[in-house]
Amino acid sequence: MAILKKNLVFFCFLLVSKALAQEPEPKSKTWIAGIDALQLVDVMNYPTLKLFVEKKITPAFSIVAAGGFQLYEPYKNYDTLYIKASGFKLDLEARAYVLKMINPQRDAKSAGLFVGLQGFYRENKFTGNADYIKIGEKPNDELTTRYTEDFGVRKKVIGANITSGWQKSFRSFVFEPSIGFGIMDRKIKNNDLSFNPAIEEFDYNHGNGIPRTHDKSGTAFNLSLSFKVGYQF
């Protein structure tokens, strides 16, 4: 009996020692916050300081919210009218990590390939200008009178994208290139524009082809590119 008690005490001692020696499992990091670096040079829309935050609901699913405001005006081609350029962008995305869905134990530090559904809203205002001619006149004819006019532009865009990308972690830092394809509804309003669509037609819109006149309102294809850099905690 004494030997049995000694063995039992020794066995309990081993269990306690092993439990104390084991390191506690690190707490799972379910938040990521950072910046969309590519938006800083988005001259096709307007350069934006755009921040984001991501919450991992599970290892395979997350919600991403992003927003930012216009930093500077890439094209300053106005002459007779000036409206200070300003704008903002908002995104909300539901995301699924494909490799995590297939194998949840694949890699705890790297989420990998993802697909998502993103809703977005953009609004901005700026000074634009355009050339227009009388209907029926030839744009390249030397006798054609061409009018150039500065005017105000206010744009509102709402839409949705299917997104896909790759999220890679290095220590606590996250790097994420992605692309999105979708559709948008664009509403453009102009002020101080003398253009008369009954007798005139636009010949050329200045500003790298950026839509800025009311006739460009409507539904259109949308392409988005992103490169996020963040920190997980």
| Percent of the chain's residues with pLDDT above 70 | 80
11 by DSSP, 3-state: which? helix
When pLDDT is averaged across residues 41-70 and rounded to a whole number, the result is: 94
Report the distance separating Cα 53 and Cα 230, nearest Å: 9
Give me the DSSP letters along 14-50: HHHHHHHHSPPPPPP--EEEEEEGGGGG-TTS--EEE
| CA 90 centroid distance within chain | 8
Phi, psi of 174 (to 5 degrees): -125, 135
Q: How confident is the model over 1-38, as pLDDT tens digits?
A: 555 445 544 544 444 454 444 444 457 789 999 999 99
The mean pLDDT value for 49-66 works out to 96
- Domain-by-domain residue ranges, the chain? 27-232
189: phi then psi, degrees, rounded to nearest 5: -120, 140
pLDDT at 135: 79
Q: Select the more confidently predicted residue: 128 or 41.
A: 41
Pick from 82, 167, 86, 77: nearest CA to 129:
77
End-to-end CA distance of the chain: 54
pLDDT digits (tens, 9 = 90+) for 155-206: 999 999 999 999 999 889 999 999 999 999 999 998 888 777 766 777 665 5
pTM, two decimals, is 0.79
Q: Is the pLDDT of residue 49 over 90?
A: yes
130 bridge partner residues: 149, 205
Whether domain 27-232 has CATH 2.40.160: yes
- Please report, rounded to a whole number, the percentage of residues in the chain having pLDDT higher than 90: 49
pLDDT digits (tens, 9 = 90+) for 209-227: 677 888 889 999 999 999 9
Better pLDDT: 112 or 204: 112
